Chains A and B, each alone.
Chain A
Amino acid sequence: MEIVYVYTKKRSEFGRQCNFSDRPAELHVDILPDPSLAANFIDKDPCDVSIQCTQEMSEHEVNTESFEYETCGINHVEGGWPKDVNPQEMEQTIRYRKKVEKDENYVNTIMQLGSHMEHCIRQNNAIDIYQEYFEEEEVAEEMDEQPSAKTINVFRDPNEIKRTATSLSWHPDGNRKLAVAYSSLVFQKATKDMSYDSYIWDIENPNKPEMTLKPVSPLVCLEYNPKDSHILVAGSYNGQITYWDTRKGSQPVETSTIEHSHRDPVYKVIWLQSKTGTDFFSASTDGQVLWWDIRKMSEPTERLVLDPSKKGSLDNALGAISLEFETTMPTKFMVGTEQGLVVSCNRKAKTPAEKIVCTYSGHHGPIYALQRNPFFPKNFLTVADWTARIWSEDIRESSIMWTKYHMAYLSDGCWSPVRPSVFFTVKMDGTLDVWDFLFKQNDPTLSLKVCDEALSSMRVQDNGRFLGCGSQLGTATLLEISSGLCTLQKNEKALATAMFERETKREKILEARHREMRLKERSRSEQSKEDETKEGEGEESVEELVAHAEREFFEIVEAEMKKWVKDEKQKQDLEKEKGVCEEKEP
């Protein structure tokens, strides 16, 4: 639609000034609304309209012309010669120089500078001011910090009814996860509401466990497979062994059959060193040690009854509470029993009778922890009753070193994997003790109260820096110990070796002495029996008395001679025994 407005002006009036005049408003165009056009549009309801209630701002860009520059060096060839002197010409330069030299100012300046300079030159010649003193001496890093430990995280049992954290196992790769087994070891305390679950915790997140393991019966002990970090094997309260694959979920992959499992709670499971990485063995208080292969959980591959009389009868058997296996010595293993004996066994023996090599006695109660020193495998640590003892394999009669008797029962312990002289123990009063016997032997180097209730288990990480303790109310505490306690000190290995050897020697001497004394006792008791019969013939004549005295004298000599012969025989026997023992322990 075109709107046109026509405006006319006479030609003769062009160029004239404008005479403005008022005029009332005139309506030129009136476009009425045309409802038919509305059909071209659609009502939009609702309308999205955005409103902004901010300051209005505008953006401008400014760009200056780029300034180009380049770096280049200057080759200073010849100094700032005055204009009239041509630097190339020798004559001119010499003349100029001579002129300068004649200048008085020059002379004075040089005299002054010269004396100053001489002083410094002489200084240089006198002594080397930059000499490095004490170049060869190494700075001895004396870490005088107090040994300390601090709690990093606390993982509480999420269930209402708290169970004891009976066992902990660190994830083999990277130690980011901690698997904790929960169960109630008090006889018949388990109520129906008590949950059977055990958890795997991520150490960064103490609020919620990363994974739950749901067994058929509460787990007493559990272990990660050091070769395959997804596999965990656990021993449960009813004697069965179960294993999990963390990739497959919370349900166990397989459980051993009840008939072939243990009859009592399984207290310890340890993975063995094998090509397939699927072998492990378990111990329980029913007196058996069973070997299993994960691929065939229906029955154990091997069985050993801990019968000290070597007859293999379960009635005589000692209940096993802890196991020890060192991958560097795959044919030997040790079992700690409820009765306080440590039984050392040989895996490769042909008959079950030969399996049990020897026993070590000395503890008064069940041996809760048993571990070889990772640096000195001949020495092992046992934690039981109120003491912790260190033993040497060669000395059967007693331990070579032991702690004093504490006020509370010791419930678990282990060596530090980085320092040969450091070990940890936890007690029933909730304290964690760190012992460093190269530093102090009477008391723990560090004693820390972790919680108010009893601590039931502990495990140190492979780096020796972190350790986890489990308590009776199901709280697992993660502690970090100070660097002084987890870095190898210089000479530590040598000192520890010397200490162990010294103690072993002392015990050997004591043992030999005891043997001697026992022999003397025996022969003396025989002697006294003979004496009694002779005393009947009392008062007689002098001759007879003399004869009597002579007889007595000769008898004593005879007895001494006999004893001497016996001693020699004993010594020979001892040596033969030692020879046999050494053969048995390769």
Chain B
Amino acid sequence: MAKVEETLKRIQSQKGVQGIIIVNAEGIPIKTTMDNSSTVQYAGLIHQLMMKARSTVRDLDPQNDLTFLRVRSKKNEIMIAPDKDYFLIVIQNPTE
């Protein structure tokens, strides 16, 4: 568990990182650095998006699978690293 904490701390210390959320397969946020309401919002919405993206990739080529999803918007970038059971969401403000 300490290793997990260490990793998250390392990520948090990177330049521009605004928040980290770890969500499980059911959409429950396990760990978060942001406030509850936005966490829940992010978790729910991104979960759906991630499902859709993954199914798209697999539909196009069944041998293929989604490894990473980046959503870049005007204000920031949302990076989602999916796995079978959990996924890690990081919101970063890319510095110019």
A529 at the interface (CB under 8 A from B): no
| In the complex, per-residue mask of B72-96: 1 if CB is within 8 Å of any chain A CB, else 0 | 1000010101011111101010111
A100-B26 Cα distance, complex, nearest whole Å: 12
Contacts A101-B1, A111-B7, A112-B83; is A117 near B28 (CB within 8 Å)? no
Minimum Cβ distance to chain A for residue B17 (Å): 6
**Which of A80, A102, A106 is within 8 Å of B28, CB to CB?**
A80
Residue of chain B at shortest CB distance from A127: B94
Contacts of A122 in B (CB 8 A): 14
Asked whether, in the complex, the Cβ of A113 is within 8 Å of the Cβ of B83, the reply is yes
Asked whether, in the complex, the Cβ of A76 is within 8 Å of the Cβ of B40, the reply is yes
A116 at the interface (CB under 8 A from B): yes
For residues 24 through 79 of chain B, which have their beta carbon under 8 Å from a beta carbon of chain A? 24, 26-31, 40-41, 43-45, 47-48, 67-68, 70, 72, 77, 79
**Which of B27, B41, B90, B96 is within 8 Å of A128, CB to CB?**
B96
Minimum Cβ distance to chain B for residue A97 (Å): 6
Asked whether, in the complex, the Cβ of A80 is within 8 Å of the Cβ of B11, the reply is no
Q: Per DSSP, are chain A's interface residues mostly helix, strand or loop, or mixed? A: helix
A114 at the interface (CB under 8 A from B): yes
Residue of chain A at shortest CB distance from B83: A109
**Which of B4, B41, B90 is within 8 Å of A110, CB to CB?**
B4
Residue of chain A at shortest CB distance from B20: A117
A125-B90 Cα distance, complex, nearest whole Å: 14
For residues 62 through 81 of chain A, which have their beta carbon under 8 Å from a beta carbon of chain B? 76-81
Contacts of A107 in B (CB 8 A): 1, 3-4
> What is the interface residue range for chain B against chain A?
35 or more
A106-B14 Cα distance, complex, nearest whole Å: 23
Contacts A114-B11, A124-B94; is A97 near B77 (CB within 8 Å)? no
A22 at the interface (CB under 8 A from B): no
Residue of chain B at shortest CB distance from A116: B81
Minimum Cβ distance to chain B for residue A555 (Å): 89
Contacts of B16 in A (CB 8 A): 121, 124-125
Asked whether, in the complex, the Cβ of B1 is within 8 Å of the Cβ of A117, the reply is no
Asked whether, in the complex, the Cβ of A125 is within 8 Å of the Cβ of B26, the reply is no
Minimum Cβ distance to chain A for residue B36 (Å): 10
Asked whether, in the complex, the Cβ of A101 is within 8 Å of the Cβ of B30, the reply is yes
A545 at the interface (CB under 8 A from B): no
Asked whether, in the complex, the Cβ of B77 is within 8 Å of the Cβ of A124, the reply is yes
| In the complex, per-residue mask of A78-122: 1 if CB is within 8 Å of any chain B CB, else 0 | 111110000000000000110011100111011111111110111
Minimum Cβ distance to chain A for residue B25 (Å): 9
Asked whether, in the complex, the Cβ of A100 is within 8 Å of the Cβ of B24, the reply is yes
Asked whether, in the complex, the Cβ of A113 is within 8 Å of the Cβ of B81, the reply is yes
Q: Per DSSP, are chain B's interface residues mostly helix, strand or loop, or mixed? A: mixed
Contacts A118-B10, A118-B11; is A97 near B31 (CB within 8 Å)? yes
Asked whether, in the complex, the Cβ of B4 is within 8 Å of the Cβ of A111, the reply is yes
Asked whether, in the complex, the Cβ of A79 is within 8 Å of the Cβ of B83, the reply is no
A130 at the interface (CB under 8 A from B): yes
Minimum Cβ distance to chain A for residue B59 (Å): 23
Asked whether, in the complex, the Cβ of A97 is within 8 Å of the Cβ of B4, the reply is no
Contacts of B43 in A (CB 8 A): 79
For residues 567 through 583 of chain A, which have their beta carbon under 8 Å from a beta carbon of chain B? none
Contacts of A100 in B (CB 8 A): 24, 30
**Which of A80, A101, A110 is within 8 Å of B26, CB to CB?**
A80
Contacts A102-B1, A111-B4; is A76 near B79 (CB within 8 Å)? no
**Which of B4, B15, B31, B48 is within 8 Å of A125, CB to CB?**
B15
Minimum Cβ distance to chain B for residue A85 (Å): 9
Asked whether, in the complex, the Cβ of B70 is within 8 Å of the Cβ of A120, the reply is yes
For residues 108 through 148 of chain A, which have their beta carbon under 8 Å from a beta carbon of chain B? 109-118, 120-122, 124-125, 128, 130
A100-B1 Cα distance, complex, nearest whole Å: 11
Q: List 29 A-B contacts (CB under 8 A).
A: A76-B27, A76-B44, A77-B44, A79-B26, A79-B29, A79-B47, A81-B26, A82-B26, A97-B31, A101-B31, A105-B85, A106-B86, A109-B85, A110-B7, A110-B22, A111-B4, A113-B83, A114-B10, A117-B79, A121-B14, A121-B17, A122-B14, A124-B16, A124-B92, A124-B94, A125-B15, A125-B94, A128-B94, A130-B72
A76-B41, A125-B15, A125-B16 known; 10 new pairs, CB 8 Å cut-off, are A76-B40, A79-B27, A80-B27, A106-B30, A106-B85, A111-B3, A116-B81, A124-B77, A124-B92, A125-B94
Q: Which 10 A-B pairs have the closest CB atoms?
A: A76-B44, A80-B26, A79-B28, A114-B7, A79-B27, A113-B81, A113-B88, A124-B94, A121-B14, A109-B83
